[in-house]
Structure 1
Amino acid sequence: MPKTVDGFSKLNKLEKIQWLVSAFFNNDEKVTKVLMQYWNTNKVLQDLHDDFIENTISNFYLPYAIAPNFIINGKEYAIPMTIEESSVVAAASLVAKFWSTRGGFKARVISTTKIGQVHFMYEGDKESLKNYFASKKEDLLKVTKEITKNMRKRGGGILNIELRNKTAELENYYQLHVTFNTVDSMGANFINTCLEAIAGEFKKDTTTSFVQDIDIVMSILSNYVPECLVRAEVSCNVEDLYAENSEVLAQKFVQAIQIANAEPHRAVTHNKGIMNGVDAVVIATGNDFRAIEAGVHAYASKTGTYKSLTNATIENGIFKFWIEIPLALGTVGGLTKLHPLSKFSLELLENPSAKELMEIIAVAGLAQNFAALRALTTTGIQKGHMKMHLTNIIKQLGASEEDKAFLIDYFEHKTVTHNAVVEAYERLMQDK
């Protein structure tokens, strides 16, 4: 059977599966069963999921967990996390408990500005373009008045429009750089609609001949939001950090961050650990983790070298650890009200504003990094991680509950590796 198809989107879900299984799996009925067993038995809920994207054939479930005992700005939180990686939630929970007895986390939003751009090419006189923009700027703002009306009522809207000459980077390239405040919405559709209206108005003047030389390439928001920034931090006396050798271990902790700032290979893994915490909460609250990832990693490279998103100091016997991270988030619109678990997550967090959610998610990233660096500079990362991964390996082997209990007990004081678990399981089966 050919592995190409016409009109696939017009097939119903079962017909899509039947074609797929026939074309790629030699009509293996087990494949159909696997796909169908993840259909939600609640038809209303399944229809809702089917409408999120195109050509759906099943659901892909990720674990949904809670990390309790977070104290942020004096307020208690249980933070929802959606992630498949072992030890992430456990680490976040342990760190939350640790800092809950040391004053908790402090967080504050530094700024909330988001960015959109109209990109265009222009070969003519620069001064003429500059003067034209100055005469048109008010008209550009006016043309979005109806679009921004509701946003302005909530305290947001367009902050400014700026003409930028980018010809040093690319010949004939200019942009209208537009800044926005989208309040509690992520605002992607709002920003893009405004930009397209601005682009249309910018070329509308038929009385000025040189406008014909403006060639608009595209109008689109930017996911790089270095001015949509939040800071989270913790601090305590150095002697309160560890049961013993506090001074030495605290210094190693600081050195680990210094290494991440000096070595991009380390910085990428360092920041990936931060994003374990960030992405897990971003997904759980129905936000766009791909946009967050892109913006965060661009921010980590803002100096021209990829660096750590966190920093730490020891001064006058006080250990301080903090993160500054760009987060363009929303608590209204998109999946935040459509997906039942996204809605539940926001309710669990007591329906935070976008600013409050920025603080919560920054704290989750900071907590994750603290757990990783504490482990790396003491026992090593694998000890705790592989203990958590042990149950996954046991499941892959198809062990019974009795065998699972035996293996967990057996590896209580042993190094966990995949081969070691397999060998222990095989010996157990032989003994039986």
Structure 2
Amino acid sequence: MIKPVKGFSRLSKKEKIEWLAGTYLKDQPDDVETLKQYWNEDTRLQQLHDEFTENTLSNFYLPFGLAPNFRINDRLFAVPMTIEESSVIAAASKAAKFWLDRGGFKATVINTVKKGQVHFTYKGDKKKLQNYFDKIKPVLLESVKPITANMEKRGGGVLSIDLRDKTDELENYYQLHCRFDTKDSMGANFINSCLEKFADVFEAEAQRYEEFTAEEANLEIIMSILSNYVPECLVRAEVSCPVSELSEDTEMSGEEFAEKFLQAIKIAEIEPYRAVTHNKGIMNGIDAVVLATGNDFRAVEAGIHAYASKDGKYSSLTHASIENGEFKFWLEIPLALGTVGGLTSLHPLVKLALDILQKPSAIELMKIVAVAGLAQNFAAVRSLITTGIQQGHMKMHLMNILNQHKATKEEKAKIVDFFQHNTVTHSSVVEQLEKMRKG
């Protein structure tokens, strides 16, 4: 019977692995060697990776690839992407090439405001609370000056603090709703530090506010935390060209392609079951660049999907139109990204990715990431309405199937050649491989 382990975090990495081997991997001796196989031979680099998080045993590698030929606002970029899914980088590259000579991608940052909240409960006169807030607001702003000094030198800082009454939704619930500009940093630590200081001062000064009764003075701070929903931190990416230019590499006319593409987008706008998969394809491009540049893809995912539901129904993040013979395709999403702080100065591949992108500011990175999402979606919808998604995807997935079945180098070459002219499915690849091995 397995017993709980005590003090696991205090064990050395060697001791952690020994405990794991003796507890859960008794019949899997090769698994311990697998852990060690992925250690970095450079001990300093390995220590750096070990200290990124807690209880580390090894490294989990993901492919680091490149999608070239992205023309964004008339500048050419090669976009680094970290992703394990087949066909994503190929699709992004194909979309970049398609739009390269059609004016490229245009991207604009609409705003960069981020938000955080101090959540608290208060039992008492609402007017008294408002009066207290009006009086304490300058004190709150002054209290974070030591935290905001460097950010303000870069043009950022606290933009506003508002008192919000949420008692119609939850009894006695109020919040300090705060807006920030964090310039080139994602800003999570900065925002949270400011919010916690606001909370401490707001709670302490309430005890000395002469208009409050004893109960009113004991307002209770529940929590102080930034929000990953950033609907004011918006970026727009778009492409456009004459409808007649859309027929490249298809058997359709430009007009047929444009109409069918438009219908596919409209379906994703009104049908949530389709919209989720549609937006997942957008996130294939976005997450891959966010991860490669050391940003928090979980925060980005949460914020973007919330934005997709902002009108009360989950819907497509991309939109298209045909006007006067011109095809337009665009995306508008919230993105909170950083190019300083966090992993950007620690992870060697993150630094490399930012170097490849010509050391972008946070605003420039927002544009690049949004364009990657738009390109990925264009490629996916284009495949769906022409050849179907599986033809291209399964050909890219072919090598994964062959590796899964331990194909030799010679077998891979023959199988790849065979499926140049045949439809790839998992069963057909296995069948062909078995035939080959039987001679």
Does TM-score exceed 0.5, indicating one fold?
A: yes
Residue from 253, 276, 286 that aligns with 2:261: 253
Q: Determine helix, strand or coil for the equivalent of 1:52.
A: coil
Deviations, residues 324-365 of structure 1 (Å, cap 9, x unaligned): 010000000000110000011001111100000000000000
- Residues 77-103 of structure 1: CA distance to partner in whole angstroms, max 9, x if unpaired? 000000000000000011111100100
Q: Which residue number corresponds to residue 313 of structure 1?
A: 321
Q: Deviations over 1:62-86 (max 9, x none)?
A: 0000000001001010000000000
Contact 1:124 1:213 in 2 (8 A): no
8 Å CA contact 2:132, 2:209 repeated in 1: no
Aligned twin of 1:102: 102
Is residue 355 of structure 1 aligned with residue 360 of structure 2?
no
1:296 aligns with 2:301: no
| CA deviation profile, 1:239-284 (whole Å, cap 9, x unmatched) | 1011342111111111111101111010000000000000000000
Q: 1:27 to 1:424 in 2, by over 3 A?
A: closer
Counterpart of 1:73, as a letter, is: N
Task: Give the aligned residue type for 1:420.
Answer: S
Q: Is the 8 A contact 1:224 1:295 kept in 2?
A: yes
SS of the residue corresponding to residue 204 of structure 2 reads coil
SS in 1 for 2:104: coil
Superposed CA deviations along residues 277-316 of structure 1, whole A, max 9, x for unmatched, are 0000000000000000000000000001001110000000
What corresponds to 1:405 in structure 2?
413
Identity %: 64
Tell me which amino acid in the other structure corresponds to 1:237. P
Q: Which amino acid aligns with 2:36?
A: M
Aligned match of 2:50: 50
- Secondary structure of the structure 2 residue equivalent to 1:241: helix
- Measured after TM superposition, the shift of residue 213 of structure 1 is 3.5
1:241 maps to which of 239, 246, 250: 246
Q: Secondary structure at the match of 2:111?
A: strand
2:389 counterpart of 1:384: no
Residue matched to 2:63: 63
| CA shift digits 1:31-87 (9 cap, x unpaired) | 111110000000010000000001000100000000000010010100000000000
**In the aligned structure 2, how far is the partner of 1:347 from the partner of 1:116?**
31
Equivalence for 1:34: 34
Alignment partner of 2:437 out of 420, 429, 432: 429
Q: Which SS does the other structure have where 2:49 is aligned?
A: helix
Query: Secondary structure of 2:191's partner?
Result: helix
In 2, Cα distance between equivalents of 1:13 and 1:368: 40
Q: CA deviation at 1:221?
A: 0.3
**Aligned partners of 2:265 and 2:37: how far apart in 1?**
45
Contact 2:246 2:253 in 1 (8 A): no
1:104-123 superposed Cα distances (whole Å, 9 cap, x missing partner): 00001000000000001112
Amino acid aligned to 2:198: I
Counterparts of 2:219 and 2:407 in 1: how far apart (Å)? 68
Supply the distance in 2 between the matched residues of 1:26 and 1:49 (Cα, whole angstroms): 27
Q: Distance in 1 between matches of 2:342 and 2:118?
A: 24
The CA RMSD measured in Å over matched residues stands at: 1.0
Letter in 1 for 2:178: V
Alignment map for 1:153-232 (pairs within 5 Å): 153-205=153-205, 206-208=208-210, 209-210=212-213, 211-232=216-237
Q: CA deviation at 1:416?
A: 1.0
Report the AA paired with residue 190 of structure 2.
F
Task: Single out whichever of 201-210 and 312-321 deviates more from structure 2.
Answer: 201-210
Asked if residue 278 in structure 1 is aligned to residue 286 in structure 2, the reply is: yes
Structure 1: gaps of 5 or more residues? none
Aligned residue for 1:204, secondary structure, equals helix
CA distance in 2, matches of 1:130, 1:52: 43
Q: Give the TM-score, by structure 2 length.
A: 0.97
What are the Cα deviations for residues 122-180 of structure 1, in whole angstroms up to 9, with x where unaligned?
12111111111111111111111111000000000000000011111111111000000
SS of residue in 1 equivalent to 2:161 = strand
Query: Which region of structure 1 is more displaced relative to structure 2, 207-216 or 150-159?
Result: 207-216
State the Cα distance separating 1:28 from its structure 2 match.
Answer: 3.1
Please tell me whether residue 328 in structure 1 is matched to residue 333 in structure 2. Answer: no
Secondary structure, counterpart of 1:233 in structure 2: strand
Structure 1 stretch displaced more, 117-126 or 242-251? 242-251
Q: 1:353-410 CA deviation, whole Å, 9 max, x = no partner?
A: 0000000000000000000000011111011000100111011111111110111111
Distance 1:195 1:11 in 2: 35
Report the equivalent of 1:138. Answer: 138
- Counterpart of 2:316 in structure 1: which amino acid? S
Shift of the alpha carbon at 1:29?
Answer: 2.2
Shift of 1:27: 5.2
8 Å CA contact retained: 1:3, 1:24: no
How many Å apart are 1:3 and its aligned residue?
A: 4.4
1:207 deviates by: 3.5
Q: Which contiguous aligned blocks of 4+ residues in structure 1 show a shift greater than 4 angstroms?
A: none
Q: Give the Cα separation in 1 of the matches to 2:427 and 2:4.
A: 41
3-state SS of the aligned residue for 1:175?
Answer: strand
Output the amino acid matched with 2:51.
D
For 1:252 and 1:180, how far apart are their aligned partners in 2? 42
Q: Deviations over 1:191-239 (max 9, x none)?
A: 0000011111112221433452311100000000000000000000001
Aligned length: 431
Structure 1 Cα separation of the partners of residues 370 and 3 of structure 2: 45
> Match of 1:126?
126
| 8 A Cα contact 2:209 2:217, kept in partner | no
Separation in 1 of the partners of 2:324 and 2:278?
27
* Alignment check: 8 A CA contact 2:69 2:96 kept: yes
